[in-house]
């Protein structure tokens, strides 16, 4: 089974929001492992939207592998 271009989003305004997002990513990873569904971690990326001139850069992981950040992306739907 393949699930291409899955997207997940959450507003992150503080440290607690960041921890909740990481917990959600952990839950997604656990669900994939439970259902023997491979998650291609090398293709996973994080894109941060902000109005801040000097935003805080949050680091997220999937199974202890850092998720690479993007500055732009082409969204095909």
**pLDDT tens digit sequence for 11-66:** 999 999 999 999 999 999 999 999 998 888 889 999 999 998 988 889 999 999 99
**Residue 10 — pLDDT band, cuts 50, 70, 90?**
very high
pLDDT above 80 (res 1)? no
pTM: 0.85
Q: Evaluate whether residue 10 is within a structural domain.
A: no
Say if 52 falls within a structural domain: yes
For 71, which DSSP code?
S
- Which tokens sit at 44? 């996973």
> Total domain count for the chain?
1
Tell me if 58 is assigned to some domain: yes
Decide if 4 is inside a domain. no
Instruction: Give the DSSP letter string of 11-69.
Output: ---SHHHHHHHHHHHHHHHHHHHHTT----GGG-EEE-----SSPPPPP-EETTEEPEE
CA dist., res. 70 & res. 31, Å (int): 25
**Residue 5's pLDDT is what?**
76
Q: Give the pLDDT score at 57.
A: 86
């Amino acid at each position: 089974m393949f699930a291409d271009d899955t997207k997940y989003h959450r507003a992150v305004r503080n440290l607690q929001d960041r921890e909740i997002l990481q917990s959600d990513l952990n839950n997604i990873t656990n669900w994939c492992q439970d259902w023997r569904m491979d998650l291609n971690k090398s293709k996973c990326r994080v894109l941060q939207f902000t109005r801040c001139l000097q935003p805080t850069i949050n680091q997220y992981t999937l199974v202890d592998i850092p998720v690479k950040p993007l500055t732009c992306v082409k969204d095909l739907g």
